[in-house]
Amino acid sequence: MNHEKIRNEILENQTSLGIELGSTRIKAVLIGQDHTPLATGSHDWENQLIDGIWTYDLADAWRGVQECYANLAQDVQETYGVPLTSVGSIGISGMMHGYVVFDEKGEQLAEFRTWRNTITAQSSDVLIPLFGYPIPHRWSISHLYQAILNGEAHVPEIAHITTLAGYIHWKLTGEQAIGVGEASGMFPIDLASKKFNETMLDQFDALIKPHAYPWEIRTILPRVLSAGASAGSLTETGAKLLDPTGNLQAGIPFCPPEGDAGTGMVATNSVAPRTGNVSAGTSIFLMAVLERDLQQVHPEIDLVTTPDGSLVAMVHCNNCTGDIDAWVKLFAEFAKAAGLDLDKTGLYKMLYGKATEADPDCGGLLSYNYVSGESITELEEGRPLFVRRPNDNFTLANFMRMNLYSALGTLKIGYDILEKEENVTLEKVYGHGGFFKTEAVGQQMMAAALNTPVTVMETAGEGGPWGMAVLASYMQNKQADETLQEYLDHKVFATAAASTLKPQQADVDGFGTFMEQYKKGLAVERLAVETL
């Protein structure tokens, strides 16, 4: 690494910064002209279940963003010997969907309702037939209409509705704007205009007309922009909000804020048709870039877009590694009680490694990783559950493989709809997120679940915030007619290292046997929700 060259890039503002507010971590990544990460910063945080609603305090978001940026600035100072006073461009991303609403004075009207909430079934049941379009429980419009159905007092006062990424962007730039990929998780997008669907906007206004609210849906939604567009610049107030030390200068250009689904697609170079990626962490979702519209409306499948506005089928599941993390924490407590010195990374590596020694079908063991509800399996709440029969092969290896399979179970149900009912074919599937951190293990399990080769890129380790920094760089450095796909192919991933694992037939068959039991056992999970 040429430190002198990097110092000059930093001093000459030839860098791009991506900040992503994920489910359990806020992370910042600074990249140089060759898109290689130069410095990082992070902050851990966690959602809370308050009065039946999964939420985060927005004050915690700001504390996290500030600490995250401070850590990155310190990394720059210590590594390259220069203070970070400016960058070439910035992009903000965050958990998609949810509900963040404000009045005309900018005061928050209701708690931030995250993607994890499945409390809007009544709303979705009305909106899906109204629009003839899948409207998931997580979407902002689902939350808004549910608040209307609930008769919540704050609704008449709404002046602005956005997502977490849109909110942070607004406070830093003063611009109520959002990227088309993130926007597609708020309200349906017209693929021709790459804006909110005008017909459906009219339909929604007609639906709520009897309430006589002082707003129309168009007036409270953010402006929609595609990748590469300018979305404002850092204000003086925003600079002090991001960096309370006062070192950061105002005037830095911002690209449109995006969701973690969009940044995942960028981070894995999967924005072209017939490519897909799986982001697997606290939640898990598959993004399949489509060549055509789906033939039917499938409530289990979201229709969203890439950051440049191409149609994507999204299989989104609220739960992935949360239950695995809980079990690993339990094993860590045991190790400590036994006087064993095992660090967190080593423990994960060991336990994930045991899964490769297991029976292909997990020896009959079965679990549900439902920390929260799942729309695909029609469960509004979750109860993590492990069940076995007396004669099942109860070993540590089978137990760990079972947990990894369970993390993919709901995703598989959704993927089967695309593959078997819509004949969607993916030539390439890329994986990224915590599920893939232990080399080859999660990747092999995913290949078995999807029965297709799965590739993990070297760059995918930085994940969404790196993808967001790339989007900021694209806005800053693209040629006049250069598409996002061209930019990624020729300037970002031309020499990227990657590993691909093909599915092993024994694993595919074993996962199939597991899924047969998984579907039957959903009745047990439903009973657990009802009785516990």
Confidence of residue 442 (pLDDT cuts 50, 70, 90): very high
Return the pLDDT at 459: 59
Return the pLDDT at 457: 82
Return the pLDDT at 181: 96
Confidence of residue 346 (pLDDT cuts 50, 70, 90): very high
In whole angstroms, give the CA distance from residue 259 to residue 518. 31
pLDDT digits (tens, 9 = 90+) for 71-129: 999 999 999 999 999 999 999 999 989 999 999 999 999 999 998 888 999 999 999 99
The residues spanned by each domain of the chain are 3-259, 267-318+414-501, 322-402+517-531
Residue 341 pLDDT > 90, yes or no? no
459 and 496 Cβ atoms separated by less than 8 Å: yes
Q: How far from each other are the two terminal CA atoms of the chain, in whole angstroms?
A: 56
In whole angstroms, give the CA distance from residue 437 to residue 434. 5
Return the pLDDT at 428: 81
Tokens of 228: 């590469």
In whole angstroms, give the CA distance from residue 469 to residue 462. 10
Confidence of residue 462 (pLDDT cuts 50, 70, 90): low
By the 10 Å C-beta count (0-12 exposed, 13-18 middle, 19+ buried), 67 is classed as middle
Rounded to an integer, the average pLDDT of 189-194 is 95
285 and 278 Cβ atoms separated by less than 8 Å: yes
Residue 205 pLDDT > 90, yes or no? yes
Return the pLDDT at 455: 92
Tell me, rounded to whole angstroms, the distance of Cα 26 from its chain centroid: 12
Rounded to an integer, the average pLDDT of 405-423 is 96
Return the pLDDT at 461: 54
In whole angstroms, give the CA distance from residue 197 to residue 186. 11
Radius of gyration of the chain (CA): 23
Hey, do 3-259 and 267-318+414-501 end up sharing a CATH topology, with the first three levels equal? yes
- Mean pLDDT across the chain, nearest whole number? 94
Q: Where are the alpha helices (DSSP H) in 374-489?
A: 396-416, 441-450, 463-477, 484-487
In whole angstroms, give the CA distance from residue 242 to residue 249. 10
Residue 528 pLDDT > 90, yes or no? yes
Tokens of 362: 């997990």
Return the pLDDT at 1: 62
Q: Which CATH superfamily groups domain 3-259?
A: ATPase, nucleotide binding domain (3.30.420.40)
Query: Helix (H, G, I), strand (E, B), or coil: what is residue 349?
Result: helix
Write phi, then psi, for 190 (nearest 5 degrees).
-85, 115
Residue 434 pLDDT > 90, yes or no? no
Rounded to an integer, the average pLDDT of 403-422 is 96
Reference 366, options 348, 347, 384; nearest CA is 384
Query: Which pTM does this prediction carry?
Result: 0.83
Q: Which range is least confidently modeled, 13-22, 341-350, 430-439? A: 430-439
Give me the helix-helix angle, 322-337 and 344-355, nearest 10°: 110
Place of tokens 């893939």: 436
Query: Helix (H, G, I), strand (E, B), or coil: what is residue 254?
Result: strand
- Do β-strands 89-94 and 366-368 pair in parallel, antiparallel, or remain unpaired? unpaired
Reference 408, options 306, 510, 264; nearest CA is 510
Return the pLDDT at 357: 98
In whole angstroms, give the CA distance from residue 150 to residue 160. 19
Reference 95, options 43, 47, 60, 154; nearest CA is 47
What single DSSP character describes residue 113? B
Tokens of 44: 């851990």
Give percent of the chain with pLDDT exceeding 70: 99
pLDDT digits (tens, 9 = 90+) for 362-402: 999 999 999 999 989 999 899 999 999 999 999 999 999 99
Query: Helix (H, G, I), strand (E, B), or coil: what is residue 374?
Result: strand
CATH top class, domain 267-318+414-501: alpha beta
96 and 260 Cβ atoms separated by less than 8 Å: yes
410 and 317 Cβ atoms separated by less than 8 Å: yes
By the 10 Å C-beta count (0-12 exposed, 13-18 middle, 19+ buried), 423 is classed as exposed
Cβ neighbors of 22 (< 8 A, separation 6 or more) are: 94, 95, 260, 281, 282, 464
Return the pLDDT at 84: 97
Identify the sign of the CA torsion 249, 234, 30, 255. Answer: negative
Residue 460 pLDDT > 70, yes or no? no
Tokens of 9: 């890039």
pLDDT digits (tens, 9 = 90+) for 250-296: 999 999 999 998 998 998 898 988 889 898 888 898 999 998 889 99
